[in-house]
Amino acid sequence: RKAHPRVSLQEDITFIKDLVVVFLAATIGGALSAQVRFPPLVGFLVGGMVVGPGGLNLVTELVEMETLASVGIALVLFSLGCEFSVSELLSVKRVAIYGGVISMAMIVILCAGLTPLLSLTDNVREGIVVGLAISLSSTAVVLQCISIPGHDANGTSANAQSACAATAHESIVPIPHAHSPVLMGNNSSAKSLANVYGQNYPMSARGNELSAESSHSFEQVSAGGPGNVELTLDSPKARKVMLALLIFQDVAIGLIVAVLPALKGTMSSFVEDVVGSALRLCVFMILSLLVAEFVLPWILERIDRTRSESLFTISSVLFCLLVAYVSEELGLAIELGAFSAGIMVSESRFRDRVEHSVRSVQDVFAGVFFVAIGMMIHWRYFYLNFFRVVLMLMFILASKCFAMSTVIYLFGSLPTRAAVGAGLALSQAGEFTFVIASKAQALQMFSGPDLRVLNGATALSMLLTPFLVRYARSVARTRAHSGSE
């Protein structure tokens, strides 16, 4: 049969042109952001704003870009899952779990009660969705801004740079120390999250370095005599508390997306949907445990025997996307499936190699994800609705600072000023806020104008984070008696 003379060549060329525009925006935005010592992802967001529909409108195939962005967020969460350790989270469960749950509940309650009164949402249900969305802070931006003192402009010490040059198959075992942070992994894990966000990961593992730093910090305290404990935002204890809450929020993203559909109906249907989601989640968890215990090690072992790096990379990406697809088919969420796939890999001896294999692929798609997020933000709408956007921004910062400071003070055992400083550093909405808001709009729980207000306020809160952290350092710097902790 003769082929139709009109082929899709022009559409393919258009898509390639869009990719060029997206990568150019990411490159220029990331480079400029690095020059002013902002996290590169901030540049990705701004680049997306410039080339998207709200800016120069240079991208045509928006649906294809959103699909690539979905792959990007799946790979980002897959790498976060590889970083995750149940035992490490349980070791700080008092602040991570109790504090995480209570802080999210406080933010949701504040949003449900106040945003309708402030005309930021149309009803209580929409306020609850906003609360769930803004309860997620930006792991990427916060970790970049609270880099270890004495590091270079990018937050990397000479030792850390040497560590990052090690091969992906190496695993540095942390030296146990009485005062060292418990959230430690291995060197490859640190490099993985560094690549997820296009930055160095000062708070994660590099176990020996953080342990040594923690030891040095407490030695300085001892030298100063008892009762001269200086607690700042950069002290090991404060960083450990903030990292614990950030990890909990990263874990919660999949569960929030899975529960969103249940918020659409009445109370009876809500309970029914929640129970149904819980049952599907149980089935998914059981299947995941079986695969992680009996199937995944066998498959990875045989792929490893082929000694083909390209095959191992393809297989790792396949596993991530396959589990994400199964999760979506079960009515849960792609995000939850991708994170679960990472957790399954984290218990395998091939964890480091999987992280190394997917790194370059993940970097590309993660960049597309953040640029696509930026394209959702409309400058013109921001200009025309300046008051609402600024009011939403102030509400986000105030409500989150209050909630995070409260749980950090109650469960993190930090003095009041240090707790307020840490809460202020975590007061921004994060990159996953865009994901939750977009999912909610797809479920017709958000109007277009309300979504643009939330996206604009979220982007501004992320852009303000370096300045908030700088101010939080001055707030948190306090001297407290060791007995008061």
Using DSSP's 3-state secondary structure scheme, residue 120 falls into coil
Q: Cα–Cα distance between 108 and 133 in angstroms, integer? A: 9
Average per-residue pLDDT in the chain?
75
pLDDT at 110 over 50: yes
pTM of the model as a whole: 0.70
- Burial per residue of 84-108, b for 16 or more beta-carbon CB atoms within 10 angstroms, e otherwise: bbeebbeebeebbbebbeebbebbb
Output the six-digit token pair for 464: 């303000």
Q: Which amino acid is at 352?
A: D
Inter-CA distances, 268 with 125, 255, 446, Å: 15, 20, 22
Region label for 430, one of left (φ > 0), alpha (ψ between -120 and 50) or beta (otherwise): beta
479 compared with 354, residue with greater pLDDT: 354
pLDDT at residue 39 is higher than 80 = no
Residue 115 has pLDDT above 50, yes or no: yes
Distance CA(91)–CA(352), nearest Å, equals 22
Contact 280, 262 (CB under 8 A): no
Tell me which residue of 107, 97, 94 sits closest to 137, measured CA to CA. 107
pLDDT one-digit tens code per residue, 149-188 = 433 333 333 333 333 333 333 333 333 333 333 333 344 4
pLDDT at 135: 93
Q: Is the dihedral of CA 280, 285, 286, 288 positive or negative?
A: positive
68-92 pLDDT, tens digit each? 888 888 888 888 778 766 666 666 7
The answer to whether 244 and 296 have CB atoms below 8 angstroms apart is no
Q: Which of the pair, 52 or 247, is modelled with greater confidence?
A: 52
| Residue 10 pLDDT exceeds 90 | no
Q: Using pLDDT thresholds of 50, 70 and 90, give the confidence band for residue 198.
A: very low
User: How many C-beta neighbours within 10 Å does residue 393 have?
Assistant: 21
**pLDDT at residue 2, as a whole number:** 52
Question: Which of these, 257, 258, 145, 266, lies nearest to 199 by C-alpha position?
Answer: 145
Lowest mean per-residue pLDDT among 198-212, 281-295, 399-413, 416-430: 198-212
Q: What is the pLDDT of residues 127-147, one digit of tens each?
A: 999 999 999 998 777 876 775
Q: What percent of the chain has pLDDT over 70?
A: 75
Q: Residue 338: what pLDDT?
A: 86
Give the whole-angstrom CA distance, residue 255 versus residue 481. 40
pLDDT of residue 20: 92
